[in-house]
Amino acid sequence: MARQYFGTDGVRGRVGQHPMTVDFALRLASAAARVLAPDGGTVFIGKDTRLSGYMFEAALEAGFVAAGVDVQLLGPLPTPAIAYLTSRVPGSFGVVISASHNLYEDNGIKFFNSQGGKLSDELEERIEAEMEHGVVTRESNRLGRARRNDNLREDYQRFCASTVPEGFDLKGMKVVLDCANGAGYKVGPRLLASLGADVIPIGCSPNGRNINDGCGSTSPGLLQLTVPGVGAAVGIALDGDGDRLILVDNFGRLVDGDQILYLIACDRQEQGTLTGPVVGTVMSNLGLELALRDKGIDFRRAKVGDRYVLAMLAETGGTIGGESSGHILCLDRTTTGDALVSALQVLSILARKGRSLAELTTGMPRFPQVLLGVKVAKRFDPFTVPGIVAAVRDVEARLGDQGRVVLRASGTEPLIRVMVEGVDEDETRACAEQIVWAVKQAGETHGSELRG
């Protein structure tokens, strides 16, 4: 059975439009309770700072309690905090109300199993099938109980601090932290301050509507200005739900997920603790692959999406992986992508080596990467079109082993994404436009550049 509502990261959409409505959330909670906790149990519910989070929190609470599941309402907490807290209580599961890096008009609902991992496709399919039976309300003596629990934030904070060596501190280090007006706005500054850092917080004043709005990992411009402006050693940008991380060096230059992976992987290798290959995605910069190869570190590419990176790490016995967007997996520390945990790994490396972020990332060259999107009248597989295939082959021949082409259809909208990577930026752009032209010829289309 194909999943109708669950995507690569739970259910997500525009608030007020199906499926992001109160009645859907109520049915989803009831169905999830019957699949994940048929004999009762506990669910931890966390959320980010969107205005609609209160509404969905109430709907989910009602559905779970009616189905006989106890509810712990944790309020605004990063997504990985829910994963961690869930893994500590046998038989429990977790729910996060968040649309991650999207603006406040969107929201989403995602689940974690009792090990702190994402649900399997099979479980998501079973939940969707169970939703057809509507909402179940048990008799009074079998209802669940709900209570709000703000104390668990401190448990998560202590866990994050435990992922760096004992005795480690950040005394004397000035850090600018941008929490995207999102889920990490309380725990992030408190965590860094508890380790002795001089913390300058920005993006820590949520009002329900300003999450990810001109701040955070998707809009780091203010952070880039602030870090050199105040003489900070490093800037840290989270996304709205605290699972993605982008850094800024002391010069105000961005350090993306590929560079963070490089830094952590090289340090783990030096410490003798790196196991298995490092896993990126088909969109990871070629410079990462070549730099790791020079260090003798095996690198693999998974499909786009952290769940595919996680699956390949499990398959190959690796512990370090992630995406260019900053979703970093340190499975030797935690079960899912955690921006604060990943940031602490980098900060501990800087402190131990006594070197700047700018210095430590010089070993990874960044190849020019051009990403273009072509809107099409109807979704199709571009590799079924001879003209597109011919254009791709021609570009690959021009680039040789000094570049890459990634061509894929969007899974959510009628859009063909074209990514070309090469040594020379002008030639790389010309190659990308050659493939875009071929895609346009395949049907009624119009192009739109997503990022250069």
> What would the pLDDT profile of 405-448 be if each residue is shown by its tens digit?
999 887 667 889 999 999 999 999 999 999 999 999 886 544 44
In a domain, residue 1? The reply is no
Q: Could you tell me if 51 and 138 lie in one domain?
A: yes
The whole-number average pLDDT for the span 194-210 is 98
Q: Could you tell me if 301 and 222 lie in one domain?
A: no
More confident call, 32 vs 121: 32
**Nearest alpha-carbon partner for 349 in 227, 220, 210, 168:** 168
Number of structural domains, the chain?
4
Per-residue confidence (pLDDT) for residue 218, from 0 to 100: 95
Find the helix or strand (DSSP H, E) in which 230 lies. helix 221-230
CB 216 within 8 A of CB 224: no
**pLDDT above 80: residue 315:** yes
**Nearest alpha-carbon partner for 342 in 242, 231, 223, 228:** 242
Q: Could you tell me if 18 and 144 lie in one domain?
A: yes
Q: What pTM does this model have? A: 0.91
Produce one character per residue of 326-364: b if its CB has 16 or more CB atoms within 10 Å, e if not.
bbbbbbebbbbbbbbbbbbbbbbbbbeeeeebeebbeeb
Q: Domain containing 328: what range? A: 255-347+356-360
Q: Could you tell me if 190 and 318 lie in one domain?
A: no
CATH number at residue 261: 3.40.120.10
In a domain, residue 204? The reply is yes
> Among 226, 252, 278, which residue terminates a domain?
252
DSSP classification of residue 376: E
> Among 101, 130, 150, which residue terminates a domain?
150
pLDDT 10s digits, 378-399: 878 899 999 999 999 999 999 9
Q: Could you tell me if 107 and 182 lie in one domain?
A: no
Per-residue confidence (pLDDT) for residue 171, from 0 to 100: 95
In a domain, residue 408? The reply is yes
Which burial class, exposed, middle or buried, applies to 91 when counting CB atoms under 10 A from its CB (0-12, 13-18, 19+)? exposed
Q: Could you tell me if 213 and 327 lie in one domain?
A: no
> Among 307, 328, 360, which residue terminates a domain?
360
What's the one-letter identity of residue 360?
L
Mean of all residue pLDDT scores within the chain: 94
In a domain, residue 5? The reply is no
Q: Assign 449 a pLDDT band (cuts: 50, 70, 90).
A: very low
Q: Assign 5 a pLDDT band (cuts: 50, 70, 90).
A: very high
Q: Could you tell me if 22 and 107 lie in one domain?
A: yes
Catalytic residues: 100
Q: Could you tell me if 317 and 205 lie in one domain?
A: no
CATH number at residue 374: 3.30.310.50
In a domain, residue 66? The reply is yes
Q: Could you tell me if 135 and 31 lie in one domain?
A: yes
In a domain, residue 187? The reply is yes
Q: Could you tell me if 261 and 247 lie in one domain?
A: no
Q: Could you tell me if 45 and 134 lie in one domain?
A: yes
Q: Could you tell me if 241 and 305 lie in one domain?
A: no
